[in-house]
Amino acid sequence: MEPISNQQIADVLFNIATLLEMQQGNPYRIEAYRNAARGMLALPVQVTDVIAQGARLEAPGLGNRLRRKITELATTGHMTFYEDLCEESLPADARDLMRVPHVGPRTAIRLSSQLNIHSVEELAQAAEQHQLRPYYGFGARSEQRLERGARSVLDGPHDGPHDHDGGQAAA
């Protein structure tokens, strides 16, 4: 397994905040996940390096429970809480679409419900054929990024944080 980057950890934390927000969860808890995500991006060192050295992960506002969840993600490439949250909050096709980098919960739901795209293969094909551009928020750049991301999922190994638990949070 390739080490998980701080960006990937932040993506998962941002996605958790989005999912909790969609469930109308506690606003303080939602903000805690967003703050933790921003904290991961601001760290001058990789989280995996800190954990490998046996040091305590320190970031502003990071509590013990969230620290444990981040440690689980950094050491295993998976976070049980996030996977369970995705399982209970999202349909299977949206979870599949979230394997693509830059596809978060909202984008995945929008792709499946509004654009009738239900798989990574369908997303790659739609982006390649420029079928996303007519829709608000999907310009040429995002269409290219989604096509590249979908192709990387289809062509590459499936053993990272984008497997079934999400890409970057996108609106």
d(CA 155, CA 70): 28
Ranges for all domains in the chain classified under CATH 1.10.150.20: 90-155
pTM: 0.82
Task: Convert 17-47 to b/e letters by CB count within 10 Å (16 or more is b).
Answer: bbbbbeeeeeeeebebbbbbbebbeebeebb
Domain limits, CATH 1.10.150.110, in the chain: 6-86
Q: What is the pLDDT of residues 3-42, one digit of tens each?
A: 899 999 999 999 999 999 999 999 999 999 999 999 999 9
Helices (H) and strands (E) in the chain, counts: 9, 0
Indicate the fold that domain 6-86 takes in CATH: DNA polymerase; domain 1 (1.10.150)
**Among 70-79, 87-96, 110-119, 159-168, where is mean pLDDT lowest?**
159-168
pLDDT over threshold 50, residue 134: yes
Burial 75-98 (b: 16+ CB within 10 A, else e): eebbbebbbebbeebbeebbbbbb
| Average model confidence (pLDDT) across the chain | 88
In angstroms, rounded to a whole number, what is the distance separating the alpha carbons of residues 17 and 50? Answer: 24
Check if the beta carbon of residue 162 is closer than 8 Å to that of residue 101.
yes
- Report pLDDT digits (tens) over 47-69: 999 999 988 888 877 889 999 99
> What value does the mean pLDDT take over residues 100-127?
94
Superfamily of 90-155 according to CATH: 5' to 3' exonuclease, C-terminal subdomain (1.10.150.20)
| CB neighbours of residue 48 within 10 Å | 17
CA-nearest of 39, 37, 42 to 9 is 37
